[in-house]
Structure 1
Amino acid sequence: MEYKKMAIKPYRFEVSEARSVKHPTLPNIVKHTFLVPARLFPKGVPTGANLRDPVGMNRQVYKDVKASLEGKEALPGTFDLLNLGITIIAEDIEVIDKRVFNVMIDDDYGIANGGHTTRIIYDCQEDDSIAEGQHVEVKIITGLEGGENHTLRVDIARGQNTGISVQPRSIFELDGAFDSLKEIVKDQDWANDIGFKESDKKDIDVRELVSVLELMNVTDFPVRESKHPIAAYEKWSTPLMKFGDDFKEHQKTGEPRKYAAFEPLLIDTLVLYDHIRREFLKVYNETVKGRAGNLRIVEKAPPSKGRYKFQYAKLDDHDQRLTKGAAYPILGAFRNFVSINPDTGCAEWVGGFENVLSSWRNLAPELVSETKQAINDIGNAPDSLGKNRNHWANLFKSVRLHVMQQQLDTMG
């Protein structure tokens, strides 16, 4: 069999750590492991050996990988511990320096596994959104040159392209942990738009429902204490695991679940969430006398998506909305209106949900102004607001004072 001439090019790898080992059975083959700063991963590495093209990047599992690389879904600096990394079939490696190598790669081979990870790294490099200290583990196999190893190259490529690990929400869905949520939302127009497992291609992620529910969790975050459910924004996996563990624990004992107490508030909370995201812009323009559309905490609908829908509250579509990072601290402040009925054990709104909506309209100028001040103090990035403890606390105090004043007015 005749093999075409290989087109081999060098790709510069700057690494933090490097090691190499000879294969114990095939001594000509060497396995190299590089720990590469993600921001320095070289551009244009061939993907000819990858049997899975990096498509379907809008799947939630790849969004999670991107969020992890950006430090939103895990601690910055741990990406290489959570990600399987990238495997490359190369021809040879040239040592330039202790931490600099030229990896010689044939255009028809290159990346055998990790094409999606590579694409995500390139996207984040372009956006300059890689969190500090993030590395990717790169495994490079050399010594496969020559026609006699062509079959082995193909076998390695095939073997490297195994399935993606199952995400926790898929397991929880199989266990029935989301059945109570399904029951609550079953009559909503958007009920069929919810994705309960990772393979569901739906507009609404069940983790958003769980995170919004966590914002009203007065059991773990009592209104009289200084703790706030920041993880609802900071790391979606935290409230999801808490929700799933709560289900499994009480499935064994038969006792009422903790989250069952808050689930009756879910739809109302989502309605309030829509109002905040939709109305913030108008209130900002009127209160601050600025242009909310110019803020980084306001996102614009991409042309491919059209206009944003506010299906929870049935509000008019809009081409802009407040980002989650800015909306969650505001929404979380309305936990002040949640109380547990001692007779039923279920959460209720203080004064009813119409009072909550009315209070949002009354409080909106103040909460928007506080958000503007936070932008001045800590920056105009959604992630900065979403993770800032002081910002959460300040908004919470404002709503707390409003609720206390309502209670005084009622007593008077």
Structure 2
Amino acid sequence: MDILEITLIADDVATMKETNSEGISRSRRWVKVSVEELEKALTLREWTEVNPREQNLNLKPAKEMRKTLSGDSRDIFHYLNRGISLSVAECRVKNIKDKKEVYLKLSDIDEHGIFDGGHTIKVLFDALNKAEVLDEKHVILEIFTGVEDILFDLARARNTSTQVKEKSIANLEGKFDFLKEALKNECFYDNISWSENEDGDISINFIIQILTTFNHLLPDKSMRKTYSGAGSCETAFINEYNRNVENNQLNNVYYKLTPLYSKIFKFLDHILSNFPSIYNKHGYESERGNFGKLKGITYKQDFFPLLFTENNKRISYKIPNSMFFPILASMRQLYKEAPNGMYEWILDPIDVFDEISDKLVTKVMGVYFEKQGAVNEVGKTLSLWIDTYEIVSSYLKEQEIKELKKQLELIQANQ
């Protein structure tokens, strides 16, 4: 999509800027504009790729918004509504008399656009189109720059209500029952939050994200969404469940994976435990040094708990999903369908990882340095998901050749 440039006249602007310890400059501005001024920004409707939620204008919140716009003469819409949150490449503000001129530039639809407030802008544009706005109304635009590396954290934090609702309903409808049965003996079971306001450090959304990386039916392009799209993974899970109601979930890929669950979650913690030391040992080309000092990596001595490991074991690094999810997904070729229709391992993913971890970690770090430490860009790089898959695929072929040679040697020895 082409670059989008918008200039708006605002009643007021409040600005907060900072440069963090990693040298990343960010800004956050609250811009108060009249609803009519948004007619200059109709193209924003097409910049919603970074918003993980679909907008349903038939829901009660959207209907209430309409009432505030069309049935109330008071200018209070911006007090009753959270507004519209945008990530942009550039935001400049200039004083003009008693107003402000705000220039916005969006250059990458995967990183810029509306990540919260999709319902708001759709209702506003619809009301403007139908001339339903009663008297003057204002809306708050919350505009961020420099947040590309944390965009999906922002989007998840802002877009929780629909996900929580879906999670709670799915739990009540029994759609998580086979997950509960498969995980009931795991050490982390009591720490899973299955529904809204339930105690537990592990959201069922995260559980489903991890399991989705092992869905071998998904293409590499779809795999990229697993590292950031908790909501989309949950929707995929629910859709898969609904498709298999009549056959009692026997063809549900998530159900067929249940014999592998225990190893999958142990494998995740194994990656997180070993990734830093593997990098520190091998580095990447001329890059060497402390993993904890890298941009996008958080280091705190023995601070971060391994969620799926017994005895409250902790590690010292917080590693972004975008850096280890491609490794998780590369192992989705390590199982096959057993005679009973369920899945079984061909090889243990932990053993395979230990054999080729230097290649996998080096591949990830190569993309990391290519993207200059922009960890969000790492996860979005399709070639990384393909290359890590191919590394594991090559290893599998090598093992098959070794096994064939052994069988041939046995045949020759018995002749």
Question: TM-score band (shorter)?
Answer: 0.5 to 0.7
Write out per-residue CA displacement over residues 126-180 of structure 1, whole angstroms, 9 at most, x where no aligned residue.
9676869x99xxxxxxxxxxxxxxxxxxxxxxxxxxx966521111111111111
* 1:41/1:227 CA distance change after superposition, 3 Å: closer
SS in 1 for 2:344: strand
Equivalence for 2:206: 208
Contact preservation (8 Å) 2:183, 2:189: yes
Distance 1:293 1:408 in 2: 39
Contact preservation (8 Å) 2:148, 2:376: no
Question: Aligned ranges for residues 170-249 of structure 1 at < 5 Å?
Answer: 170-221=168-219, 227=221, 229-249=223-243
Equivalence for 2:293: 294
Q: What's the offset of the Cα at 1:79?
A: 2.9
Question: Aligned ranges for residues 63-74 of structure 1 at < 5 Å?
Answer: none
SS in 1 for 2:331: helix
Determine what percentage of the aligned residue pairs are the same residue: 16
**TM-score (ref. length: structure 2):** 0.62
Equivalence for 1:330: 327
SS in 1 for 2:114: coil
Pick aligned residue for 1:380 from 363, 367, 373: 373
* 1:204/1:71 CA distance change after superposition, 3 Å: farther
Write out per-residue CA displacement over residues 347-373 of structure 1, whole angstroms, 9 at most, x where no aligned residue.
12113x2xx212211211111211221
* 1:175/1:75 CA distance change after superposition, 3 Å: farther
* 1:83/1:210 CA distance change after superposition, 3 Å: farther
- My pick for the range that moved more, 282-291 or 33-42, is 33-42
Amino acid in structure 2 at the alignment position of 1:308: F
Contact preservation (8 Å) 2:84, 2:114: no
Amino acid in structure 1 at the alignment position of 2:305: K
Q: What's the offset of the Cα at 1:381?
A: 2.3
Equivalence for 1:4: none
Contact preservation (8 Å) 1:374, 1:385: yes
- My pick for the range that moved more, 211-220 or 164-173, is 164-173
SS in 1 for 2:198: coil
Equivalence for 1:310: 306
Distance 1:203 1:215 in 2: 21
Write out per-residue CA displacement over residues 340-397 of structure 1, whole angstroms, 9 at most, x where no aligned residue.
22x222112113x2xx212211211111211221122223122111221111111111
Distance 1:195 1:36 in 2: 29
Alignment size in residue pairs:
307
Amino acid in structure 2 at the alignment position of 1:18: E
SS in 1 for 2:318: strand
Q: What's the offset of the Cα at 1:189?
A: 1.9
- My pick for the range that moved more, 236-245 or 76-85, is 76-85
Distance 1:25 1:321 in 2: 49
Distance 1:322 1:328 in 2: 10
Q: What's the offset of the Cα at 1:332?
A: 0.8
* 1:130/1:183 CA distance change after superposition, 3 Å: closer
Distance 2:317 2:149 in 1: 22
**Unpaired runs of at least 5, structure 2:** 1-10, 14-30, 39-66, 94-107, 123-135, 406-415
Write out per-residue CA displacement over residues 99-135 of structure 1, whole angstroms, 9 at most, x where no aligned residue.
xx9x8xxxxxxx9xx9xxx9xx59x669676869x99
Distance 1:23 1:320 in 2: 48
Contact preservation (8 Å) 1:272, 1:313: no
Distance 2:72 2:400 in 1: 78
* 1:174/1:24 CA distance change after superposition, 3 Å: closer
- My pick for the range that moved more, 255-264 or 320-329, is 255-264
Amino acid in structure 2 at the alignment position of 1:346: M
Q: What's the offset of the Cα at 1:321?
A: 3.5
* 1:16/1:346 CA distance change after superposition, 3 Å: farther
Distance 2:223 2:328 in 1: 11
Matched, 1:254 2:259: no
Amino acid in structure 1 at the alignment position of 2:323: A
Distance 2:402 2:37 in 1: 71
Write out per-residue CA displacement over residues 201-252 of structure 1, whole angstroms, 9 at most, x where no aligned residue.
421011111111111112334xxxx555222113112221121122233224
Contact preservation (8 Å) 2:193, 2:203: yes
Contact preservation (8 Å) 1:17, 1:36: no
Equivalence for 2:36: 18
Distance 1:408 1:394 in 2: 21
Amino acid in structure 2 at the alignment position of 1:254: N
Equivalence for 2:167: 169
Amino acid in structure 2 at the alignment position of 1:278: S
SS in 1 for 2:218: coil
**Unpaired runs of at least 5, structure 1:** 1-9, 43-69, 86-100, 104-110, 136-162
Amino acid in structure 1 at the alignment position of 2:177: D
Amino acid in structure 2 at the alignment position of 1:77: I
SS in 2 for 1:385: helix
* 1:71/1:233 CA distance change after superposition, 3 Å: farther
**TM-score (ref. length: structure 1):** 0.63
Matched, 1:267 2:268: no
Amino acid in structure 1 at the alignment position of 2:329: G
SS in 2 for 1:320: strand
Q: Which has the higher helix share?
A: 2
Contact preservation (8 Å) 1:329, 1:386: yes
